[in-house]
Amino acid sequence: MPYVVALTGGIGSGKSTIANIFAKFNITIIDSDVIAYEIVKPGSFALKEIIKRYGCSMLTEHGSLSRSSLRERIFQYNEERYWLNNLLHPIINIKTQELKKTAKSPYILWVVPLLIEQRIQYQANRILVVNVRESVQLKRTQTRDNVKLTQVEKIIAIQATPNQRMAFADDIINNTGTIQNTFLQVIKLHKFYIKLAKIKRG
């Protein structure tokens, strides 16, 4: 198994942006959000289970999962969120392990927004936390997703707090500043991770 660096942080903190910078150095990115999208594709086991539970109103006119309908449903009821997590997480986990095994780069960047919430820290060799001032996080997410501030606040409220994430951080990127500033932090970490991966390989 290659050396695994888990990248985590709240919504809109800059995980995708940072992953794209690591990708420029030819580092394999495993993104749990991408996997989560793939496993509910039309015809998938997970989508069939979702339809069984909630009916066809969970589908768009093209037959794919309507994320907004599902989101509405699971935000209303904790029980439903647990049900969905129990369905999706084991499938995501299996897929993630498969991808980790076949990766070729010196280390892997595993982008996993809910690392702390799901208590899967042990699956990484190192934990990299993106930190951003909350006002910046709110503004960037609102602009990116074109949603109301209250919607972003609701999502942040059910995620781990910055302090909870920090408790597990081996490394931190502060993404409150410019992309250029973040780029410089990534270069340093990349060099460091190459060294750590080499030590692990022995």
User: Is 135 a binder of ligand ADP (CB under 6 A)?
Assistant: no
- Tokens 């069984």 found at: 52
Binding residue (CB under 6 A) for ligand ADP from 144, 148, 188, 198: 144
- Tokens 């936390």 found at: 129
Instruction: Looking at residues 167 to 196 of the shown chain, list those that interact with ligand ADP (rule: CB under 6 A).
Output: 175, 178-179, 182
Least Cβ distance, residue 193 to ligand ADP (angstroms): 19
For ligand ADP, give the closer residue by CB, 13 or 32: 13
For ligand ADP, give the closer residue by CB, 116 or 197: 116
Least Cβ distance, residue 127 to ligand ADP (angstroms): 15
For ligand ADP, give the closer residue by CB, 90 or 153: 153
Determine the Cα–Cα distance for residues 135 and 18; give it in Å rounded to an integer: 19
Q: Are 32 and 110 in contact (CB under 8 A)?
A: yes
Which tokens sit at 70? 């599902």
User: Is 131 a binder of ligand ADP (CB under 6 A)?
Assistant: no
Which tokens sit at 169? 């951080």
Q: How many CB atoms neighbour CB 163 within 10 A?
A: 7
In the shown chain, the binding pattern of residues 86 to 125 toward ligand ADP, with x for contact by CB under 6 A and - for none, equals ----------------------------------------
User: Is 11 a binder of ligand ADP (CB under 6 A)?
Assistant: yes
Least Cβ distance, residue 54 to ligand ADP (angstroms): 26
CA atoms within 13 A on the CB side of 184: 5
Determine the Cα–Cα distance for residues 159 and 146; give it in Å rounded to an integer: 20
User: Is 15 a binder of ligand ADP (CB under 6 A)?
Assistant: yes
Q: Are 149 and 139 in contact (CB under 8 A)?
A: no
Binding residue (CB under 6 A) for ligand ADP from 2, 6, 9, 120: 9
User: Is 66 a binder of ligand ADP (CB under 6 A)?
Assistant: no
178-187 contacts, C-beta under 8 A, 24 or more apart: 179/17, 182/14, 182/17, 182/18, 182/21, 183/21, 186/18, 186/21, 186/22
Binding site for ligand ADP (CB under 6 A): 9, 11-17, 140, 144, 175, 178-179, 182
